[in-house]
Amino acid sequence: MSSLTTISENKAFGGVQGVYSHASAETKTDMTFAVFVPGREDGVKLPVLWYLSGLTCTHANVMDKGEYRRLASELGLIIVCPDTSPRGEGVPDDEAYDMGQGAGFYVNATEEPWAANFRMRSYIEQELPALIAQQFPADMERQGIFGHSMGGHGALTIGLRNPDRFKSVSAFAPIVSSLNCPWGHKALGGYLGTDQSTWRDYDACALIEDGARVANILVDQGTADQFLEEQLKPDLLVAACERAAIPLTLNMREGYDHSYFTISTFMDDHLRWHAERL
């Protein structure tokens, strides 16, 4: 287990908002992440809610703009906010915003030049949880996961692949089907190659079609989201959940866009939804 370096810790709403880094064996880079730990009595372990960010983001976007600390403190939820990709000198990148650093898509890449570093699936599913369990007062028997856009794709697919670990799954404006959008075709084609059968583990609708199940899903989607029709396509998730009898709550939010103004507006709804299940 790698050692943890504290970058910053600030008191907020009776708890501590920290930013930390460690040397990752999976990505072969230093990885930075944020953790909010509410105030608690000594020895008490708290449920863990993972938030996965979208394209171009780091841990800092939701930490600075998500407005989660007040209610997370009241509900007693640890909030973990990882980065979206490996970063640093020698890490492959792309000139476009939707590939490379800042755009890890929560996959284990198999194609060059990405395969050595872009192992965000294993990082999020295995390495970082082990570090959280070791270093923080986390009850790892009570975990939930949510995210935004590319991070919503990550939350849905990771939750569907690990239903025994994650007791609750939700998303803001998620990419619901990587097989059916330009972002997915570019990223998964680049990271995994042209055989689309290997993409199905990273497509929420395909996972459901292939038998993956969770108890229920919550999604908030803005009607003024500029990516709604071409990239996000929530109707595909509605159809997949209906066929699989998975209860899905899809809130179409009139006039809301793809930004953190939307996420912060409905953050409390998601925190309460997860808290009820954790």
- Which of 149, 168, 170, 177 is flagged as catalytic? 149
- Which of 220, 225, 270, 274 is flagged as catalytic? 225
d(CA 28, CA 14): 35
Cis peptide upstream of residue 129 (ω within 30 degrees of 0): no
d(CA 247, CA 151): 21
258 is catalytic: yes
- Which of 22, 153, 258, 274 is flagged as catalytic? 258
d(CA 145, CA 140): 12
270 is catalytic: no
For 56, counting Cβ atoms within 10 Å of its Cβ (0-12 exposed, 13-18 middle, 19+ buried), the class is: middle
d(CA 184, CA 78): 30
Return the half-sphere exposure (C-beta side, CA atoms, 13 A cut-off) of residue 188: 24
**CB 21, CB 131: distance < 8 Å:** no
Rg (CA), the chain: 17
225 is catalytic: yes
d(CA 123, CA 27): 7
Question: Active-site residue numbers?
Answer: 149, 225, 258
